[in-house]
Each structure stands twice: as structure tokens, then as C-alpha cells.
Amino acid sequence: MALNLATLKTRALTALVFVAVMLAGIFYNQWSFFILFTIIQFGCWWEYFKLIKLIDPHYLKTFLTIAKYVLLGIVYISLPCVLMTDLYSQSANLYNEMGWLLPMLIIASIWINDTMAYLVGSIIGKTPLSAISPKKTWEGTIGGAILAIGVVTWGANYIYTSLNINTLLLISTTAAITGTLGDLLESKLKRMAGVKDSGQIMPGHGGFLDRFDSLLIATTAVWLVLFLYL
């Protein structure tokens, strides 16, 4: 996969605005955090039902079909947002009111994994990862995960020496791996719906689901890992 400089420029400019909004919501206070993830949740729900309508145009005809897709949406979208809020509360209790810390570790792992997978795959990627997402390569996926785990674990441990390195490894590894699975899941939904992007709110990045597909799955996975092992 050749490195497309025009696409990279568009993605980078959009990402700057996106990152600024995300960081403001995450770091300002607990209410900005709640508002941010409420907006994310509703945006994802809107695009989810647009995809479902394309996948199954008759889904509104029976109560059971509606209930099935609503239940799937709750597990896929609402549950991760609730668990992210819970992680904020847990983090505030554990790390001197730094409620943003655990959520930010997950988000940083995903952002670094996504960016590095794209760059590594663009430069040396040769082996397709899955037919679901032909542009993804094994080289990019593995390289992105290794870099994300290394940077997040080392960086967070260096800045906050009180953080347990095993906890950091659990979070970064789980987020990097399951984040990629979340990306593939959303790619499968888009393929079934016959669309390239779930929305157009972010040029170069698509819609809410395109941007938060990894985070939705990774949040649930990290919350479960922390619940079971810590």
C-alpha cells in the first residue's frame, strides 16, 4: 500500500481539530467528559441505524427484528460509553482525582496503534490482513501494535512512576489488539451496507463509527480485563 501524501495531509489536518476537541472534553472536567461521550454515543447510534437500514431495509417490520438491532446497538455502542464513564470514576478514585488517566491510556493506545499501523503498512506493508479491510496489512498491524504498546507503557510509566507497569501492559496490549478487531467489525458492517464510510463528519476519517470503532470494542475489553485481573 503506497503512502498517499494528499490523503495523509487531509487526515492530519482533520485529526488536529479532532484531537483538540477530544482532549478538551477529556481533560477539562467530569462534565465535559460526560458531554463528550454522550455526543459520541448519539453520533454512533445515528450512523449505526443508517447502516442497519442499508443492510436490512425491512428491519422495522417486526418487533423482534427491531429489538435485535437495538440490543446489538446497546452492546456495541452504549455499553462502552457507560464503561468509559465508569473508568473515569475509577481512575479519579485511584489516581488522585485524575479521572482522565485510564480513559486516556486506552485512547492513546488506539491513536498510536492506528497512526503507526497506517504508516508502517504504507511503507512496508505487503501481506493483506483480511479481505474485510484489504488496505490493512499484517506488517502494519503488528508494527502499530508493538509501537503502541511500547510507547504507552514506557511513556506513562516514565511520567507517572506510581503506575504499575503490569497494569499499563494490560491496558495498552488489550486496547491495541481489540481496537484493531473493532476496526474490522465496523469495516464488515460497511461492506454489508455497501458504503465506504459510515458518515462524512470528519474529512479523511469518515463518520463517528469510522473514528470510534476501535474505541468502542477496546473500552469494553479493557474494562473487562481490569475487572478480572486487578
pLDDT digits (tens, 9 = 90+) for 46-90: 999 999 999 999 999 999 999 999 999 999 999 999 999 999 999
Mean pLDDT check: name the lowest of 139-153, 155-169, 172-186, 201-215. 201-215
pLDDT, the chain, mean:
92
> Is 83 within 8 Å of 39 (Cβ atoms)?
no
Residue with cell 463509527: 209
pLDDT tier for residue 4 given thresholds of 50, 70 and 90: low
> Is 136 within 8 Å of 129 (Cβ atoms)?
yes
Mean pLDDT check: name the lowest of 6-15, 38-47, 161-170. 6-15
> Is 196 within 8 Å of 134 (Cβ atoms)?
no
User: Residue 205's pLDDT is what?
Assistant: 65
1 has a pLDDT exceeding 60: no
User: Residue 229's pLDDT is what?
Assistant: 86
User: Residue 161's pLDDT is what?
Assistant: 79
Mean pLDDT check: name the lowest of 5-14, 83-92, 115-124, 157-166. 5-14
Q: What is the mean pLDDT of residues 131-149?
A: 93
Q: Which residue ranges make up each domain of the chain?
A: 5-229
Of residues 17 and 104, more confidence is placed in 104
Mean pLDDT check: name the lowest of 104-108, 136-140, 162-166. 162-166
2 has a pLDDT exceeding 70: no
User: Residue 203's pLDDT is what?
Assistant: 66
